Each structure stands twice: as structure tokens, then as C-alpha cells.
């Protein structure tokens, strides 16, 4: 299949905002696609070459600018200028491709297969010179592409397609193309996690998404609750469990064959032979899929910082030694399959009983701390204990709910400590993209150290909650105010006089070498403007230091 044919569909999708039309365009595309191309086209049509969680392309905008410079023989400044105008590197590449001075000698027609396979190679290029090799690979694609082809190749690689195709539309289009029910497709997706593969099965009339050990399932996710009381009130029959701050694992056992998958469905069995061994010895079911959170533990069996566990996850060699140096403990909290049967539709209360029945607990393989109560004071004691044990908080679960793979459906609610907000000063901002080119789209926040201001985080202004509220200006207002304070401009970044102080909420403080304060904020959000404060009154680096030490659950993932 020619890439140009796919590009026509991209254009049609981009030209309409109507979801039903988009679905019909995609259904037509899938319907006319040959078997050989179908799964690739389904992925590409949703703007990617990997299934969710499989891999990321790892190409930053800066690198893409260099590719454009190289491919079209233009200067970096030209690219930056055009980018500022269009807010999109895809259209920027398209523009230079139309006006190109250098023509590649032997231009050949791009096929879907070639584009797909080349893009998939990108994350595997590592080590010395990888930057240049990645640039060469994308350059090769662009030099054979038409201007429109270039637009979509660049956008796919940057993960920003702008054709308005969300997962729900792909699901409905697959259903329509092959005469299936959208629910059926969705169910298969929960288990298989790949619309490409599912489209192929649907076309052949073999849409059977069976759970079986060895085949990873998308995991159930948790929502956030503002506090313990609210979470308890949500369910008639709540259970509380420690929320361990580690690495989620799904253990698949089939006789003596044990496989371990991450939350992103990667096979991590090789990195965790100790978990596999413990599971072989201590799980009494012939076949099962169970889930838990793994933690690195010290000699006293207390959890070690997440960085230690990270070393285990990233390790490729010398695994044996690592398993001794950094032992891992798994805290099991669910079972979704046992001896030939899916347990997904059973309520948690029954799954938990089943799990208890099949696990012989050891120091390394144990059941998560679990308590069933609706009583606030009892629950609060449990919650405080979780925090004092160095865990992140608790997850409150609905004992009557089924296992819902891949989604946040509000059956699990996480409760964590909320940290005191910080008053920070805005010292810079970045012009937005796409529809937001006229606005300063993200802010650079700083804390004070003596008379200077040190950066400690960035946040997208799109994340401003309740913008336009009494206490929070709209993007236009923010932009107008900041524009008056600009002291320097480098590309899309502007530096501003430190004058505007904002109160910033965040989920946690993380150590980070990226910022001069040494700390970054996780999930920052502007709570309100502090017109009553001057830059001199904003938080100091010493205060952040203190807050970091006070931060409960000492064992955080570092940025």
C-alpha cells in the first residue's frame, strides 16, 4: 500500500470535526485494506506505530528541527520562524518540502510498510552516535515523502497527529468495518490491548479474546479521591489496602512456566527471576494470573527507595547478583484468572478470598495489607499506619466491583497526603502551539534563593484549574500581563521579570537535577494568583528543602 493513499485519509480526517464522519472514513479505510496491511494501518491511523505502553519513539522536537534543517537544506532559524507561525512542525516540514531547493536524486514511492518499519526502529537505536543515526533514519523518510506525506510523518513521530482520532473512534470504526458490535471490540481490546490485531481477528470472524496465562492483560487503574472520608462514602462495602510505591507486576503462572509482565505489558521475567521462583514455589494454583506491587526491601524488610527497584528493572546482565543485592518483595492484591477460568466478572470480595486461598505467604511474596471497614476512625488508623510505614497512602476499593481492565472506572480510589501549596514566581513562559500560538502556553516557576530566583518547574497553562475565575486570570489575561514583563526571548521561550506570584498545588516534591533548586514538582497546578505577594515573599529554596524532608512516604520515585 502506498503511504500516499493513507495520507489522503489523514487529510479527510483532519478536514472534519464530526466524530461520526471520522468513524466512517476510518471504517472505509480499514474495510478496503488488505490483510497484510490492516494491523499497521489501524495503528498508523491512530497516529502511532506501537500499541499502548509498548514503546515510545523518543524523538524530541529539537531533534526533529534538525532533521528538517538537514532534509530541506534550510537554516535552523528558518525552521524556528516557520514553526512560530504554524505552531506545528508537521506543517513546517510540509512548507519546506514544497519549496525545497535540494531534491533527492533517486526519490522513490514510500510504502506504508516502509514508513511503519522505519519508525519502529527508532527506539532501538541507542548508544554512541544514536542521535545522528535517528536523524538519518527520519531524514531518509522525509526525503522520499511528498509535502503532505512529510506533514504526517513528522506528526506521527512527534506523537501529535491533529486528526482528532481517539481510541473510541478507532473502536467504532473497526466495529463498523467488520460488522461487529462496539462492545465486543472493546471487550477484546481490554484483553488484547491492540486494535490492529483485533481488526484482523474481526475481519476473519475470529474475535475471541480469551484470557490465558502468558498473554498480558491491560491492568485496572485507580482514580484519585480528595480524602479518606470521601473515598469511604463512595462504596457500600469498602476495603482499604496500602498503596505501595513500587512497580506493578502481573504474575502469569502456567504449571512451572512463570512470566511476569509490567503495567505497560512488557515482559520483565528476565529482570525478576526471584519473583518467578517464589511464585513457582508458593502459588498453589496450577494456572493463574495474579497482580501485586513489587518493592525493593532492605535487611529489616522495610521498603527501600524506588531508585533501588529501578536498578533492578533496568538491569540486563548480572541479574543473579542483583537479586541478592536488592531483594524484591511482591505485595499481592488481585487475581483475575485461575485454573482455566477468568475471574474478572467476580466481585473483588470473591477474588480476594480466592487469592488468599492460593498464596502461601513468604517474606518475598505476600498479600497486600488489606482491611474491610466503612468506619472512618478504624480506616484512619490503617491509613496513618500506611504512611508511617513509608507507603504512599491507601487505595480504597469497592468490594462489590468486578475487575475492569485498562480503565479508571472509579472502583479503586487512591488517597494520598496533600502537600501544602507553594507560592512561586513566574520567571518565564513559552509560546503555545496550534490554536494557542497567540498565548504564552507554559510557565516557568521559580523559588527564591537570597536575591536570585531559581527555576523549580514548568507547567502548562492549560492545566490552570478554573481559569477565568475571580482568583485566576484567563490565558489571554495571563499572556497580556506577562508580555509586559518580557526581558528576553530565545526561540519560543520568553524570560520575564519575576513579579507575578502564584499559589501552586502539586502532588509531590521530587529530587531533580533538571532544576537549579534541585527539586521538581509533580503534577503542579495553579490554585490562585497572589497579588498580595511580591517576588520577595515567594517560597525559598530552604523552605522547599524542609518540605521535602517533611514529605510523608519518604520513598518517592525521583525525577
> From the list 241, 274, 433, 503, which residue makes contact with ligand AMP (rule: CB under 6 A)?
241
Q: With beta carbons less than 8 A apart as the criterion, state whether 181 and 206 touch.
A: no
- Tell the smallest beta-carbon distance from residue 508 to ligand AMP (Å): 10
Q: Which is nearer to ligand AMP, 395 or 535 (CB)?
A: 395
With a CB cutoff of 8 Å and minimum separation 6, the contacts of 330 are 249, 251, 275, 278, 292, 293, 294, 295, 364, 365, 366
Tell me 392's DSSP state.
-
395 binds ligand AMP (CB under 6 A): yes
- Tell the smallest beta-carbon distance from residue 369 to ligand AMP (Å): 8
- Tell the smallest beta-carbon distance from residue 212 to ligand AMP (Å): 22
Q: Which is nearer to ligand AMP, 142 or 355 (CB)?
A: 355
Q: What is the DSSP string of 137-201?
A: HHHHHHHHS-HHHHHHHHHHHHT---S---HHHHHHHHHHHTT--HHHHHHHHHHH--HHHHHHH
Tell me 363's DSSP state.
S
Q: With beta carbons less than 8 A apart as the criterion, state whether 191 and 208 touch.
A: no
> CA–CA separation, 19 vs 8, rounded Å?
18
> From the list 95, 96, 333, 411, which residue makes contact with ligand AMP (rule: CB under 6 A)?
333
HSE-up of residue 39 (Cα within 13 Å, Cβ side): 13
HSE-up of residue 540 (Cα within 13 Å, Cβ side): 8
- Tell the smallest beta-carbon distance from residue 422 to ligand AMP (Å): 21
> From the list 114, 234, 286, 414, which residue makes contact with ligand AMP (rule: CB under 6 A)?
414
> CA–CA separation, 95 vs 398, rounded Å?
54
413 binds ligand AMP (CB under 6 A): no
Q: Which is nearer to ligand AMP, 186 or 241 (CB)?
A: 241
Q: Which is nearer to ligand AMP, 244 or 431 (CB)?
A: 244
> CA–CA separation, 46 vs 25, rounded Å?
13
**Interface with ligand AMP in residues 471-500 (CB under 6 A):** none
348 binds ligand AMP (CB under 6 A): no
C-alpha cell at 408: 479508571
Q: Which is nearer to ligand AMP, 142 or 265 (CB)?
A: 265
263 binds ligand AMP (CB under 6 A): yes
Encoded one letter per residue, x for contact with ligand AMP by CB under 6 A and - for no contact, window 197-226 reads ------------------------xx----
Q: With beta carbons less than 8 A apart as the criterion, state whether 499 and 535 touch.
A: yes
Q: Which is nearer to ligand AMP, 286 or 370 (CB)?
A: 370
84 is catalytic: no
Encoded one letter per residue, x for contact with ligand AMP by CB under 6 A and - for no contact, window 242-261 reads xxx---x-------------
Question: Which stretch, 65-73, 240-248, 320-328, 454-462, contacts ligand AMP (CB under 6 A)?
Answer: 240-248
- Tell the smallest beta-carbon distance from residue 245 to ligand AMP (Å): 7
C-alpha cell at 426: 513566574
Q: Which is nearer to ligand AMP, 135 or 289 (CB)?
A: 289
- Tell the smallest beta-carbon distance from residue 223 to ligand AMP (Å): 8
Residue with cell 512488557: 266
Question: Which stretch, 235-243, 357-365, 462-470, 512-520, contacts ligand AMP (CB under 6 A)?
Answer: 235-243
- Tell the smallest beta-carbon distance from residue 405 to ligand AMP (Å): 12
Q: Which is nearer to ligand AMP, 20 or 523 (CB)?
A: 523
C-alpha cell at 355: 487469592
- Tell the smallest beta-carbon distance from residue 559 to ligand AMP (Å): 15
508 binds ligand AMP (CB under 6 A): no
Residue with cell 470535526: 17
Question: Which stretch, 28-36, 237-245, 436-444, 494-502, contacts ligand AMP (CB under 6 A)?
Answer: 237-245
- Kindly list the distances between the CA atom of residue 456 and the CA atoms of 60, 295, 472, in Å, as whole numbers in the listed order: 21, 29, 21
Q: With beta carbons less than 8 A apart as the criterion, state whether 376 and 234 touch.
A: no
C-alpha cell at 16: 472534519
Encoded one letter per residue, x for contact with ligand AMP by CB under 6 A and - for no contact, window 275-294 reads ------------------x-
Q: Which is nearer to ligand AMP, 243 or 354 (CB)?
A: 243
Burial level of 294, CB count in 10 A (0-12/13-18/19+)? buried
With a CB cutoff of 8 Å and minimum separation 6, the contacts of 130 are none
Q: With beta carbons less than 8 A apart as the criterion, state whether 396 and 234 touch.
A: yes
Q: Which of 176, 243, 253, 354 is catalytic?
A: 243
Q: Which is nearer to ligand AMP, 171 or 416 (CB)?
A: 416
By residue count, the chain amounts to 559
Q: With beta carbons less than 8 A apart as the criterion, state whether 165 and 22 touch.
A: yes
Question: Which stretch, 102-110, 238-246, 314-322, 491-499, contacts ligand AMP (CB under 6 A)?
Answer: 238-246
- Tell the smallest beta-carbon distance from residue 457 to ligand AMP (Å): 19
Q: Phi-psi category of 58—alpha, beta or left, where left has phi over 0 and alpha has psi -120 to 50?
A: left
- Tell the smallest beta-carbon distance from residue 248 to ligand AMP (Å): 3
> CA–CA separation, 489 vs 515, rounded Å?
20
> From the list 154, 231, 368, 401, which residue makes contact with ligand AMP (rule: CB under 6 A)?
368
C-alpha cell at 212: 490465558
Encoded one letter per residue, x for contact with ligand AMP by CB under 6 A and - for no contact, window 289-318 reads ----x-------------------------
Residues touching ligand AMP, count (CB under 6 A): 13
With a CB cutoff of 8 Å and minimum separation 6, the contacts of 86 are 92, 95, 437
Q: With beta carbons less than 8 A apart as the criterion, state whether 464 and 525 touch.
A: yes
Residues that bind ligand AMP (CB under 6 A): 221-222, 241-244, 248, 263, 293, 333, 368, 395, 414
Residue positions annotated with a catalytic role: 243
Amino acid at each position: 500500500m502506498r503511504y500516499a493513499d493513507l495520507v489522503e485519509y489523514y487529510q479527510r480526517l483532519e478536514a472534519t470535526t464530526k466524530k461520526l464522519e471520522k468513524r466512517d472514513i476510518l471504517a472505509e479505510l480499514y474495510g478496503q485494506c488488505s490483510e497484510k496491511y490492516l494491523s499497521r494501518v489501524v495503528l498508523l491511523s491512530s497516529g502511532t506505530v506501537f500499541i499502548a505502553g509498548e514503546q515510545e519513539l523518543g524523538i524530541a522536537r529539537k531533534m526533529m528541527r534538525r532533521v528538517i534543517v538537514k532534509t530541506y537544506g534550510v537554516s535552523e532559524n528558518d525552521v524556528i520562524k516557520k514553526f512560530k507561525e504554524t505552531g506545528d512542525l508537521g506543517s513546517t516540514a510540509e512548507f519546506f518540502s514544497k519549496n525545497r531547493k535540494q531534491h533527492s536524486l533517486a526519490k522513490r514511492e514510500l510504502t506504508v510498510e516502509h514508513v511503519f518499519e522505519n519508525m519502529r526502529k527508532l527506539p532501538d537505536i541507542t548508544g554512541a552516535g544514536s542521535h545522528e543515526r535517528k536523524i538519518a533514519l527520519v531524514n531518509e523518510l522525509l526525503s522520499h515523502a511528498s509535502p503532505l506525506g512529510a506533514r504526517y510523518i513528522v506528526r506521527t513521530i512527534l506523537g501529535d497527529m491533529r486528526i482528532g482520532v481517539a481510541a473510541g473512534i478507532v473502536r467504532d470504526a473497526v466495529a463498523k468495518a467488520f460488522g461487529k458490535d462496539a462492545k465486543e471490540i472493546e471487550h477484546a481490546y481490554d484483553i488484547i490491548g491492540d486494535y490492529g490485531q483485533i481488526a484482523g481477528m474481526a475481519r476473519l470472524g475470529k474475535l475471541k479474546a480469551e484470557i490465558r496465562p502468558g498473554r498480558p492483560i491491560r491492568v485496572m487503574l485507580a482514580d484519585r479521591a480528595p480524602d479518606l472520608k470521601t473515598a469511604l462514602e463512595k462504596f457500600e462495602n469498602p476495603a482499604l489496602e496500602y498503596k505501595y510505591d513500587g512497580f506493578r507486576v502481573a504474575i502469569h503462572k502456567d504449571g512451572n512456566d512463570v512470566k511476569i509482565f509490567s503495567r505497560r505489558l512488557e515482559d520483565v521475567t528476565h529482570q525478576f527471576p526471584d519473583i518467578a521462583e517464589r511464585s513457582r514455589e508458593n502459588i498453589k494454583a496450577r494456572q493463574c494470573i495474579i497482580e501485586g506491587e513489587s518493592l525493593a526491601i532492605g535487611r529489616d524488610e522495610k521498603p527501600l527507595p524506588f531508585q533501588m527497584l529501578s536498578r533492578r528493572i533496568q538491569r540486563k546482565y548480572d541479574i543473579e547478583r542483583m537479586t541478592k543485592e536488592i531483594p524484591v518483595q511482591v505485595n499481592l492484591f488481585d487475581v483475575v484468572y485461575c485454573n482455566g477460568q477468568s475471574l474478572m466478572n467476580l466481585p473483588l470480595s470473591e477474588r480476594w478470598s480466592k487469592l488468599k486461598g492460593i498464596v502461601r505467604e513468604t517474606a518475598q511474596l505476600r498479600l497486600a495489607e488489606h482491611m474491610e471497614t466503612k468506619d472512618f476512625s478504624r480506616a484512619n488508623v490503617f491509613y496513618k499506619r500506611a504512611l508511617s510505614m513509608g507507603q504512599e497512602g491507601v487505595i480504597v476499593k469497592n468490594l462489590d466491583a468486578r475487575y475492569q481492565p485498562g480503565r479508571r472506572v472509579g472502583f479503586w480510589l487512591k488517597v494520598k497526603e496533600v502537600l501544602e501549596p507553594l507560592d512561586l514566581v513566574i520567571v518565564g513562559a513559552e509560546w503555545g502551539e496550534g490554536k494557542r500560538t497567540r498565548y504564552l502556553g507554559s510557565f516557568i516557576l521559580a523559588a527564591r534563593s537570597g536575591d536570585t530566583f531559581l527555576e523549580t518547574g514548568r507547567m502548562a497553562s492549560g492545566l490552570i484549574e478554573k481559569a477565568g475565575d475571580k482568583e485566576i486570570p484567563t490565558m489571554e489575561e495571563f499572556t497580556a500581563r506577562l508580555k509586559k514583563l518580557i526581558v528576553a526571548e530565545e526561540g519560543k521561550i520568553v524570560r520575564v521579570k519575576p513579579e507575578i506570584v502564584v499559589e501552586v498545588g502539586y502532588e509531590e516534591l521530587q529530587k531533580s537535577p533538571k532544576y537549579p533548586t534541585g527539586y521538581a514538582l509533580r503534577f503542579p497546578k495553579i490554585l490562585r494568583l497572589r497579588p498580595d505577594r511580591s517576588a520577595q515573599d515567594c517560597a525559598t529554596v530552604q523552605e522547599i528543602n524542609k518540605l521535602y524532608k517533611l514529605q510523608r512516604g519518604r520513598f518517592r520515585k525521583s525525577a
